Structure 1
């Protein structure tokens, strides 16, 4: 029995799909486990994460939350519905979707990294300054809540208003 050209192509495509699976898939393991495996604390993202995509080869991380919300670490941190970042060992380079309150201003978080894990310190780059926080503040994912009447501008986009979502 001879295989036709289209049958051979189909078998070859199936073979490639098993050998080289698509990298943009939701991982079976949790986001917290992926963060820990990359030398970062598990609680960088709030509990309200709905889903995420992680491309192991490129390091692209996309986290989807139920809704925009605020979490409390040392100060308040705003998470948009989608947070996009690059994840590498001991570093999360944020592209969009995360801001930190600093002196009544909302500044985009640019990087989160751990220089020396034995120091117990995590560094957050907000552009003009580095904030040093205890690694232990990020052990568990925080509860993320909205805040009645809070509105602000982020990264030149339209103002984002959060409403009370009890």
Structure 2
């Protein structure tokens, strides 16, 4: 009887600590986390292996390998994507680039100011691009980085 009481006490203590500490997201996916923070689940690909969220809001997302997918345009995810997660935004994004007019530009910030507007803002440095939130409802599948490497290689050959 005492053993089961200790077991219950450990379980309740663990559950209480995970409620207080943002590092305990083992039972939820990164996609659930994004939704709970006012962002669409489809901002990150299905192939996310794991993630960490520090107390200061630094989010690190780990993929098995870099990969390529498409929202409105093609986007490339590095094997680690970092950003500061606050409600409705990923600020200071590192590890995500987007193709715009044949150029690959880093995504710096992703913001949902007003979910009712149905828009999400991508800051790509030289411009701010508004896209429909509907593009990000479901996590996309991401293809291996070799596709991007081959594309870049062909561009270099054409330039020489």
- Report how far residue 23 of structure 1 moved: 5.1
Q: Distance in 1 between matches of 2:71 and 2:82?
A: 20
Change (3 A) 1:135 1:23: closer
Moved more, 19-28 or 118-127: 19-28
1:89 and 2:87 aligned:
yes
Report the structure number with the largest CA radius of gyration: 1
User: Which segments of 5 or more consecutive residues in structure 2 lack a partner in the other structure?
Assistant: 1-12, 154-160
CA offsets 1:71-105 (integer angstroms, 9 cap, x no match):
11000000000001110000011431100001111
Mapping of 1:125-144 within 5 angstroms?
125-144=123-142
Report what 2:53 is aligned to. Answer: 54
Residues 23 and 119 of structure 1: is their aligned pair in 2 closer, same or farther, counting only changes over 3 Å?
closer
Runs of 4+ in structure 1 displaced over 4 angstroms? Answer: 17-26
Q: Please, which of 39, 45, 61 is the counterpart of residue 63 of structure 1?
A: 61
The answer as to 2:121 corresponding to 1:123 is yes
1:36 and 2:35 correspond: yes
Listed as ranges, the gaps of 5+ residues in structure 1 are: 1-16, 153-166
Normalised TM-score (structure 2): 0.77
> Number of residue pairs matched?
136
Greater share of helix: 2
Aligned equivalents of 1:61, 1:67: Cα separation in 2: 18
Q: Tell whether the 8 Å contact from 1:86 to 1:93 is kept in structure 2 after alignment.
A: yes
State the TM-score, normalized to the length of structure 1: 0.74
